[in-house]
């Protein structure tokens, strides 16, 4: 049987990596859009987007999001997945605005709260209801981010309440400091807790990126890579571009005989409308 094409997501910048971690972390809308374009050419089907302010700090600035989306849409048909993170003090309004006004095909849906490094990543139950409603009314597919096993239960409870709609797409985040560690056993437990017809992808933070990606390729899941999650291509070797991570995964998938999904194949797998 032909195996399911592998969807590669690139997360080029995130909110916590800085040029001190890697001088190639993109910060301006132009740099972020360039990195997405290069990653798309290398085989990424989805771009998970954060923006930075003019000082290079994490931001939910709407105009920066609008600019990145505009620049990317001019150049390629990659699936846009916008962050709704409130990790750096963004208001609920700031977190929701890009959904209704920029119409990404996907956006992150963090289905619970957790410690993350020195911070607490807060996603209160009432906000999750609001976020689910905002995504539904803007026809945005939630990427349900799971930092702890109970987040899966939270998402399933929202399905029971009619707020999220199956089939669900999950993004497991393993190895973040303060949350679930990165092991194949933890990954397998999460995968086995999903309802049938769900799709899933994995993020391994830092040095867990490559082993978690390998596990996902073998288990039939999908993979996210990029400087939001990791800055080293291999031990001691800083990535010079996000596209290098994508090429690394394409190479691994090829070796393991898993085809890589085109953008349209990814849309089909995720139940998104054709472009």
List interacting residues with Zn ion (CB under 5 A): 83
135-164 in b/e form (b: 16+ CB < 10 A) is: beebebbbbbbbbbeebbebbbebeeeebb
Per DSSP, helices labelled H in the chain are 29-42, 62-75, 92-102, 125-137, 150-160, 184-192, 209-219, 242-255, 263-270
In terms of CB distance, is 222 or 258 closer to Zn ion? 222
CA-to-CA distance for 69 and 49, rounded, in angstroms? 9
In terms of CB distance, is 62 or 184 closer to Zn ion? 62
In terms of CB distance, is 128 or 258 closer to Zn ion? 128
In terms of CB distance, is 9 or 83 closer to Zn ion? 83
What the block records as the tokens of 52 is 């930075």
State the residue number with the nearest CB to Zn ion: 83
Distance in Å, CB of 228 to Zn ion, minimum: 5
In terms of CB distance, is 258 or 266 closer to Zn ion? 266
Distance in Å, CB of 67 to Zn ion, minimum: 18
Distance in Å, CB of 123 to Zn ion, minimum: 13
Q: What is the DSSP string of 228-259?
A: TT--EEETTEE-S-HHHHHHHHHHHHHHTT-P
In terms of CB distance, is 5 or 239 closer to Zn ion? 239
Q: Is 87 helix (H, G, I), strand (E, B) or coil?
A: coil
In this structure, are residues 142 and 135 in contact, taking their beta carbons and an 8 Å threshold?
A: yes
Distance in Å, CB of 106 to Zn ion, minimum: 12
Distance in Å, CB of 144 to Zn ion, minimum: 13
Give the contacts of 268 (CB within 8 A, at least 6 positions apart).
274
Distance in Å, CB of 11 to Zn ion, minimum: 6
């Amino acid at each position: 049987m032909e195996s399911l094409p592998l969807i590669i997501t690139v997360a080029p910048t995130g909110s916590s990596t800085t040029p001190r971690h890697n001088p190639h972390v993109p910060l301006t809308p132009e740099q972020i859009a360039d990195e997405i374009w290069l990653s798309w050419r290398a085989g990424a089907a989805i771009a998970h987007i954060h923006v930075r302010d003019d000082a290079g700090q994490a931001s939910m600035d709407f105009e920066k999001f609008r600019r990145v989306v505009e620049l990317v849409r001019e150049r390629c048909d990659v699936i846009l997945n916008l962050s709704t993170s409130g990790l750096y003090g963004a208001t609920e309004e700031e977190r929701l605005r890009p959904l209704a006004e920029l119409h990404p095909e996907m956006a992150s849906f963090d289905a619970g709260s957790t410690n993350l490094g020195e911070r607490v990543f807060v996603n209160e139950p009432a906000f999750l209801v609001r976020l689910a409603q905002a995504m539904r009314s803007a026809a945005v597919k939630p990427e349900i981010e799971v930092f702890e096993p109970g987040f899966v239960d939270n998402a399933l409870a929202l399905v029971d309440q009619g707020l999220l709609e199956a089939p669900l797409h999950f993004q497991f985040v393993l190895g973040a400091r303060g949350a679930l560690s990165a092991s194949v056993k933890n990954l397998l437990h999460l995968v086995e807790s999903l309802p049938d017809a769900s799709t899933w992808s994995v993020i391994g933070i830092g040095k867990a990126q490559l082993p978690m990606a390998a596990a996902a390729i073998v288990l039939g899941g999908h993979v996210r890579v990029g400087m939001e999650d990791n800055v080293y291509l291999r031990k001691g070797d800083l990535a010079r571009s996000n596209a290098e991570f994508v090429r690394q995964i394409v190479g691994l998938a090829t070796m393991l005989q898993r085809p890589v999904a085109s953008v349209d194949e990814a849309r089909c797998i995720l139940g998104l409308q054709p472009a």
